[in-house]
Amino acid sequence: MERFEQVGGEQLMNSTLRVRKYNRTTYSLNGTWNLLVDLDDSFEMGIHAAYSSLGNNQFNEYPMKVPRKKFCQYLAEEYIEYQYVWVDKTNLPYIEKGSTDNCPLPKKEYWIHDLVPIAAWVPPVIPTGYWRLTAELWSTGTDQEILVQYHYYFKVSRRLPA
């Protein structure tokens, strides 16, 4: 894990999420973000990945993504599948499968504390190297535009068999 950054969207949310050293060999994600509006179906969410084979920040889009969906649909379908990643590390809501009670996502301060990545999260077919995941929040309607982006940078490496 290298860094986490917000690009634009200060009128919707304000993030202080940072990557920090957890111990001698591990990094963790920590911080807060203030959600300034309720997130509902007037927004769309999508995630895509980019890969830098040389680790020099020259990223190429990778054909792996979570397609853009209305925000409530995103919570009900995608968020539910991956919420185990941050369970007990955040105050984000835990959503039961099939539930639609958590939409809209209410405006308030959310936090993440010592979220440490686990190698099991990365499928074995993902090549080693430098990666960027980009989460985008879009407006819906006639003026569809990206309102805010979050970039999450990390390295994937594999240990050689003993």
Q: Which amino acid, one-letter code, is at 69?
A: K
Domain assignment of residue 161, yes or no: no
Domain assignment of residue 150, yes or no: yes
Distance between CA atoms of residues 59 and 4, nearest Å: 16
| pLDDT for position 117 | 85
Domain assignment of residue 162, yes or no: no
The per-residue pLDDT for range 82-118, each reduced to its tens digit, is 888 888 899 999 888 877 788 899 999 999 999 998 8
| pLDDT for position 161 | 63
Phi and psi angles of residue 77, each rounded to the nearest 5 degrees, phi first: -110, -45
Q: How many domains does the chain have?
A: 1
Domain assignment of residue 105, yes or no: yes
Please give the residue range of the domain that contains residue 86: 3-156
Domain assignment of residue 149, yes or no: yes
Domain assignment of residue 118, yes or no: yes
The per-residue pLDDT for range 71-84, each reduced to its tens digit, is 999 988 888 888 88
| pLDDT for position 85 | 85
Domain assignment of residue 9, yes or no: yes
Phi-psi group of 72: left, alpha or beta (phi > 0 → left; psi -120 to 50 → alpha; rest → beta): alpha
Beta strands in the chain (DSSP E): 3-7, 13-15, 18-21, 27-35, 43-52, 60-70, 109-115, 129-139, 146-156
Q: Give kind and range of the element (H or E) at residue 23.
A: none
Average pLDDT, integer, range 5-33: 93
- Work out the end-to-end distance of the chain between its first and last CA atoms, rounded to an integer number of angstroms: 25
Query: What CATH number is attached to the domain comprising 20?
Result: 2.70.220
Angle at CA 90, nearest 5°, toward 86 and 94?
70
Phi and psi angles of residue 154, each rounded to the nearest 5 degrees, phi first: -155, 160
| pLDDT for position 51 | 94
Domain assignment of residue 98, yes or no: yes
pLDDT band at 124 (very low <50, low <70, confident <90, very high): confident
The per-residue pLDDT for range 35-51, each reduced to its tens digit, is 999 999 999 999 999 99
Distance between CA atoms of residues 39 and 32, nearest Å: 17
Residue 126 has pLDDT above 90, yes or no: no
Which percentage of the chain shows pLDDT scores above 70?
98
| pLDDT for position 99 | 79
